[in-house]
Amino acid sequence: VYLNQVSDSLLLYSPSEESVTYYIYDADEQEVCNGNVTFSEQGEASIYVGTLGDGIYTIYIVIDNDVYGGDFQL
């Protein structure tokens, strides 16, 4: 996951064309958004985060029964 500050998007990369669910939480551990993304044939997907205010956030990505997480700052 990479933050593209120009487009206010999180860029995700995966080696397969799969759909995943994501959850984004703020610093107070409140869920601020969630959704599903599907990776393109090139293995790319993006999540628009331009509606979120400045701060530190945690994203969780659920693939099958596995959960991956990481922090990012806006």
Do residues 17 and 55 make contact, with C-beta atoms less than 8 angstroms apart?
no
Q: Please give the pLDDT value at position 57.
A: 96
Q: Please give the pLDDT value at position 15.
A: 82
Q: Which residue is listed with tokens 């969630």?
A: 34
| Position with higher pLDDT, 14 vs 61 | 61
Do residues 24 and 48 make contact, with C-beta atoms less than 8 angstroms apart?
no
Amino acid at 72: F
Q: Please give the pLDDT value at position 37.
A: 95
